[in-house]
Structure 1
Amino acid sequence: MSGFDLSGLTASFGGERVIGPLSLRIQPGEKVALVGKSGAGKSTLINLIHERVNRESSLVPQALGLVNALPVFHNVFMGRLDRHATWYNTVTLVRPFSSDRTDVRALLQELGMPEKLWMPVASLSGGQRQRVAIARAVYRDAPLLLADEPVSALDGPMAHAVMELLKNRFATSVIALHDVEMALRYCSRIVGIQDGQIALDDHSERLTASDIMSLY
């Protein structure tokens, strides 16, 4: 993989520019944390990157994008809908194939909720719903992970377990994180966003939490 060269990223709302124009090059194997205060443009930037790379990304949006009426299994399976023929997806809606059931259950096991496989998403807690969105992204297994505050609804131990899982499963990632310590611990590069522009871009090993807090 040659990496992702993202130039000319820009977004406006109501005639007012909120992001960019900015450029971001992501090298293969980089784990990038997007940091900055609420409203700085981190979520918008994640969405812009997703639009640019599209099918090459596994996305965990902040709004999660789950279908409440469907069970956990089908929400996770959606990560690979575009990899199967229409007939396969239609059959799966009624009677999933055993290999897919096994794969999704194993993923839920890693996330501490295998017993939720056939539960409707609407019945889950906020933290469980977030883990379903994470499972869908991991199941997709795309070259680039894009995640917007993926552990915001999880307690300490589970948040660290999920960040470890994402670190191990995706060689290359861009993760928007509010938690500076988490960003320094699990990401190799810190990109700070301020007023829609890149205000900081450095290797995490060269930074401390206080270096990043000036963005907040």
Structure 2
Amino acid sequence: MRLSLAGVSVRLGSTPIVADCDLTVDDGERVGLVGPNGSGKTSLLRTIYRALDPVAGSVELGGDDVRGLSQREVARRAALVAQESTPDFDFTVEELVAMGRGPWLRAFESTTGRDNTRIISALERVRLADHRTRRLSTLSGGERQRALVARSLAQESPLLLLDEPTNHLDVYAALELLELVRDLNRATLCVLHDLNLAATYCDRLYVLHEGRIVADGPPAEVLNPELVLKVFGVTCTHLTHPATGGLLLAFSPQRVAPLPARAEGVKNR
């Protein structure tokens, strides 16, 4: 399932949010969308699943403009994992995951044996089968995010959309979640604010700055010190991760004051 955005512009009321954005995700490709807070990442993502209509440009899923597709058909092609939050209703884990079958069911139709097989398989894939009867309010943030990923698996959509899925998660839960997403081998568009996570888990990155895409390509090329300084306002040094051999970014404020000189005879503590 190929995702293609061409010349997309979005306004909220009279306020321009994003302008003239081009973006693609091909089958099996993991693409990251990064940028400072308020740059328009979530708004751009929302145009894909029709929560927002662009004022210009087009969004295509599998070669079809989403504006010509029903919401059910969009959901069959793209599944969303939103930011971690407290659920409005205290469903069980299994009830939440079963909602992923909704796009494939007729109105008021109950799940069948095939649907239930998909639900159990999704729970097992994210290692939550033993938690199927637990209420969402009893789960940790990482477990709730894995439950949302399971819902997307049950949905069987070839494109996965993630909106800052590691938000509010601790380091272990964030890495566990992104390892899981990487192992799914699905076309993925992921909004991230952590540049090191983006560099580690994405094949390509798009950088959004003041509503415009200012760079795209492999992480090591895109996240160069000049661009990071311009867009994020921090200095950046490229290092090699000692365990993985991948790109590791070290950040410091744009202007770092020199360390004060030590008085004679005073030792560091």
TM superposition score category, shorter chain reference: 0.7 to 0.9
Q: Secondary structure at the match of 2:49?
A: helix
The one of 99, 105, 108 aligned to 2:117: 99
CA pair 178-193 structure 1, distance change in 2 beyond 3 A: same
Structure with more of its chain in helix, by fraction = 1
8 A Cα contact 1:80 1:140, kept in partner? yes
Equivalent residue for 2:135?
A: 120
Give the aligned partner of residue 19 of structure 1: 18
TM-score by length of 1: 0.83
How do 1:25-36 residues align onto structure 2 when only pairs under 5 Å count? 25-36=24-35
Aligned partners of 1:70 and 1:121 also within 8 Å: yes
Deviations 1:127-177 (A, max 9, x none): 332222122123323121110111223322332222122122143111000
Structure 1: gaps spanning 5 or more residues: none
| 1:163/1:186 contact within 8 Å kept | yes
Partner of 2:36: helix, strand, or coil? coil
Contact 1:66/1:75, CA 8 A, preserved across alignment: no
1:170-208 Cα shifts (integer Å, max 9, x gaps): 431110001101111110111000111101111224344
Q: CA RMSD in A?
A: 2.7
SS at match of 1:184: helix
**Match of 1:59, SS?**
strand
2:214 is matched with which residue? 199
| Identical-pair percentage | 27
8 Å contact 2:32–2:191 — kept in the other structure? yes
Distance in 2 separating the partners of 1:103 and 1:77: 11
Q: Which of 65-74 and 29-38 deviates more?
A: 65-74
Check whether the contact 1:192–1:212 (CA below 8 A) recurs between aligned residues.
no
Deviations 1:52-110 (A, max 9, x none): 44231111122669552321111111112111344542x67xx997635532431341x
Answer with 73-82 or 54-63: which moved more. Answer: 54-63
Q: Which structure has the larger Rg over C-alpha atoms? A: 2
Q: Write the distance in 1 (CA, Å) between the matches of 2:28 and 2:115.
A: 33
1:57 corresponding residue in structure 2: 78
Distance 1:30 1:126 in 2: 26
Which ranges in structure 2 are unaligned for 5 or more consecutive residues? 51-58, 62-73, 233-269
Q: Compared with structure 1, are the counterparts of its residues 68 and 125 closer, same or farther at alpha carbon in structure 2 (3 Å cutoff)?
A: farther
Q: For 1:71, which of 92, 97, 102 is the aligned residue?
A: 92
Residue in 1 aligned with 2:9? 10
CA distance in 1, matches of 2:27, 2:8: 20
Q: Which amino acid aligns with 2:78?
A: S
Residue number among 199, 202, 210 corresponding to 1:187 in the alignment: 202
Write the letter of the residue equivalent to 1:186. Answer: Y
Structure ranking higher on relative contact order (CA contacts 8 Å, 6+ apart): 1
Over 3 Å counting, the alpha-carbon distance change for 1:22 and 1:97 in structure 2 is closer
Q: What amino acid sits opposite 2:205 in the alignment? A: I
**8 Å contact 2:142–2:177 — kept in the other structure?**
no
